[in-house]
Amino acid sequence: MPLYREGAPSGLVVEDPWLRLADDAAVPADGMVLVSFARWREARAALLARRGPVGVVLANTDPVEALAADVSRLDLMVLHFPKFSDGRAYSQARLLRGRFGYQGELRASGGVLQDQIAFMLRCGFDSFESEQKGFGEALAKARTLFSVVYQPTEDGRSPASLLRLKRRNVLVS
């Protein structure tokens, strides 16, 4: 599956350095491994004891709260969209980024289409697996689609309400 990363040169597919481990596969001693949420819960200590970064793949029904204490130990989290119209992972993303302070790569997988990118960026996703033609070009433009936003979210953009207040205060002072 082609992988795209925000900030990569326009339209470019980036290489995926992560080894996606089946639940019954042996854990290599080093390298970047990506495991399921179930595997993580079961083998957390062993995974952390090895050399090399660990990432976790979550189903959109997995409780992200269970990862709150480990966000600084994980370098990748993959959130899944079983269909593009199933929006549960948007909430997971905002909780991971906003509430638990996760700083690593946050990847969207599954039904990931270019018309959702602007929403995904606002919720804190920064990498994307997509088979859609033109996805990379769309990603490069996605941040400029809307120069105004109404909600404060994890992307740190100032919503219109805040900008209005600032403008008013400048006028007053």
Q: Where are the beta strands (DSSP E) in 111-151?
A: 127-129
Position 82: which residue type? P
Stretch that binds another protein, among 34-42, 49-57, 68-76, 78-86 (CB under 8 A): 78-86
| Closest among 124, 144, 134, 122 to 12, alpha carbons compared | 134
> 46, 26 in Cβ contact below 8 A?
no
Residue 6 CA to residue 126 CA, distance in Å, equals 5
Each residue 16-45 as x (binds another protein by CB under 8 A) or -, in order, gives ------------------------------
Residues 113-142 interacting with another protein (rule: CB under 8 A): 113, 115-116, 118-120, 122-123, 133-134
Q: How far apart are CB 145 and another protein at their closest, in Å?
A: 6
Max intra-chain CA distance, the chain: 65
Pick from 85, 170, 171, 173 the residue near another protein by CB under 8 A.
85
Residues that bind another protein (CB under 8 A): 84-88, 90-92, 94, 98-99, 113, 115-116, 118-120, 122-123, 133-134, 145-153, 159-165, 168
